[in-house]
Amino acid sequence: MLEFMPLVLFVAVCAVLMLGFPVALSLAGTALAFAGLGLGLESLGIDAHFNPGYLSAYPNRLYGIMTNTTLLAVPLFVLMGVLLEKSRVAETLLDAMALLFGTRSGGLGIAVTLVGMLMAASTGIVGATVVTMGLMSLPTMLKRGYSPSLATGTICATGTLGQIIPPSIALVLLGDVLSSAYQQAQLSMGVFSPKTVSVGDLFMGALVPGLLLVGLYMLYVAVTAWRRPDAAPPVPREALTEELGHRGGLATLLLKGLVPPIALIVVVLGSILAGIATPTEASAVGAFGALVLALVYRRLSLVTLREVLRATTRVTSMVFLILIGAALFSLVFRAYGGEEMVTGLFERMPGGVVGATLIVMLVIFLLGFILDFIEITFVVVPIVGPILLAMGLDPVWLGIMIAINLQTSFLTPPFGFALFYLRGVAPASVTTASIYRGVVPFIAIQLVMLLLLAQFPALATWLPAQFG
């Protein structure tokens, strides 16, 4: 029984997280309890297969987390996203897109998808995008005859694009974890001058799959509108103009709503792709640009600035506390021989690297039903990442596969966070069952995207190779 303690530790952490305890405290508390158990058994002369020497590395781990310049991008990107949310750039943009596409069957759904894509590339925060799009577009879509399931599914799915379209906080965190895993994998293979994989590589690798995912979303909305015209009817331009309450011309709306976020995206991503700035430096430029936009739109007061800084501090503190807890969990897991157990399991698995990758993706997908993407990133990826990379997988490809898989964790009932965000702002007439039904086709699209990436890895690896 004691030789299976790593498995027991993993199951115990998942169980504690499902009970609703804070993530950071769950990881650290459960790990400390199992470390104490291991030390206690060893002191009694019982072989618990526990090596306490791993715990001595914890201070160095903490120092590494707090001095990691890559993770500095997290508070800056959060600050950028919250500022853009408060400046309400998306409202003008959505109105313009609705007027541009809404007169066609399925046009409002396509407009929501495009705006969601630009919001994702501007903010990278799923909750902000889903809530904003839900408040702005859902009432109009429902009033104009859209099927509740199609409307809510489209909003939830496009809101999660912030997970995969850079600059994404999820990619920043995943990039940092994969960077450590890649170096660990190379050292285990005897490569003492290891190559590196950066957050910028993941940003470039995510661009093509992210845009392809947007295209698949719009294709689904268009096909649904074609097959079921009553589910996504066209809206007369006069009625839509009256609904949105805009008297200005379409060109003016597009200029006000489209140019600022695109300019910010070009500056942030363009500087990374051109090699002018690192993701951390680009995040600082993005935060400054968002501050300028908020001032230009006259939406920045002292009260708003206080709210923005509090929200940024809250999210950043949560992320770093989880990192600290995850570091302790990882050390205790390895102290019980968990790394060797997982390696042996993968080596005995039929199908070699293909079978191992398939099992990992399936486990991540199933865990997405009950755990958040941050929990999966910091608990699962450090365990399986070094082993899969040592088996020869491309780190950028693996990172994008995991990122898209984690994106589904926001959509999968019953605990998908995007579902909760939308439920909180949706009118009472929209049932929870309608929201659940609406996201099912988009979950299927996510799985199709994973299959495409598995069949054509160049979708994720070509662009980083060009700029590498």
> DSSP readout, 105-119?
TTHHHHHHHHHHHHH
For residue 462, pLDDT beyond 80: yes
pLDDT at 96: 74
- What are the C-alpha distances in Å from 451 to residues 195, 347, 448? 28, 23, 5
- Name, in order, each residue with C-beta under 8 angstroms of 324's C-beta and a sequence gap of 6 or more: 24, 28, 62, 65
State the pLDDT confidence band at 219, using cuts at 50, 70 and 90.
very high
Q: Measured between alpha carbons, how far is 169 from 315 in angstroms, rounded to an integer?
A: 11
State the pLDDT confidence band at 248, using cuts at 50, 70 and 90.
low
Q: What is the mean pLDDT of residues 303-315?
A: 86
Mean pLDDT (the chain, rounded): 82
What does the block give as tokens for 141?
């879509």
**145-175 pLDDT, tens per residue?**
889 999 999 998 988 888 888 878 888 888 8
- What are the C-alpha distances in Å from 249 to residues 100, 108, 254? 11, 18, 9
- What are the C-alpha distances in Å from 257 to residues 32, 88, 89, 261, 447? 50, 9, 6, 7, 33
**Start-to-end C-alpha separation, the chain:** 48
**22-63 pLDDT, tens per residue?**
778 888 899 899 888 888 887 777 777 788 888 888 888 888
pLDDT at 446: 92
**276-296 pLDDT, tens per residue?**
888 888 888 888 888 888 887
Q: Measured between alpha carbons, how far is 324 from 18 in angstroms, rounded to an integer?
A: 20
Q: Measured between alpha carbons, how far is 325 from 126 in angstroms, rounded to an integer?
A: 23
- Could you tell me which of 162, 159, 163, 166 has the C-alpha nearest to residue 202? 166
- Could you tell me which of 454, 224, 255 has the C-alpha nearest to residue 357? 454
CB contact at 8 A, 132 and 85: yes
**225-241 pLDDT, tens per residue?**
999 888 888 877 776 66
Q: Measured between alpha carbons, how far is 457 from 468 in angstroms, rounded to an integer?
A: 16
pLDDT at 217: 95
- What are the C-alpha distances in Å from 201 to residues 165, 182, 361, 468? 13, 13, 21, 8
Q: What is the mean pLDDT of residues 430-446?
A: 90
Q: Measured between alpha carbons, how far is 341 from 347 in angstroms, rounded to an integer?
A: 10
- Phi first, then psi: what are they for 249, rounded to 5°? -70, 160
Higher pLDDT, 70 or 75: 75
pLDDT at 468: 60
Please, how many CA atoms are within 13 Å of residue 383, restricted to the half-sphere of its CB? 32
Q: Measured between alpha carbons, how far is 447 from 453 in angstroms, rounded to an integer?
A: 10
- Could you tell me which of 71, 152, 144, 201 has the C-alpha nearest to residue 465? 201
For residue 250, pLDDT beyond 70: no
The residue behind tokens 């994106």 is: 407
What does the block give as tokens for 285?
């430029």
State the pLDDT confidence band at 453, using cuts at 50, 70 and 90.
very high
82-86, 149-153, 404-408: lowest mean pLDDT where? 82-86
For residue 246, pLDDT beyond 60: no
What does the block give as tokens for 260?
């600022």
For residue 400, pLDDT beyond 90: yes
Q: Of 2-11, 317-326, 411-420, where does the model show the most confidence?
A: 317-326
- Name, in order, each residue with C-beta under 8 angstroms of 342's C-beta and a sequence gap of 6 or more: 6, 383, 384, 387
For residue 407, pLDDT beyond 90: no
What does the block give as tokens for 215?
């295209």
- Phi first, then psi: what are they for 369, rounded to 5°? -70, -25
- Could you tell me which of 306, 245, 259 has the C-alpha nearest to residue 89? 259
What does the block give as tokens for 3?
């030789």
Alpha-helical runs (H) found in 88-198: 89-101, 107-123, 126-143, 148-159, 169-188
pLDDT at 209: 94
**385-399 pLDDT, tens per residue?**
888 888 888 899 999
Higher pLDDT, 398 or 71: 398
pTM listed for this prediction = 0.83
What does the block give as tokens for 191?
């490569």
What does the block give as tokens for 17?
């997280």
pLDDT at 47: 72
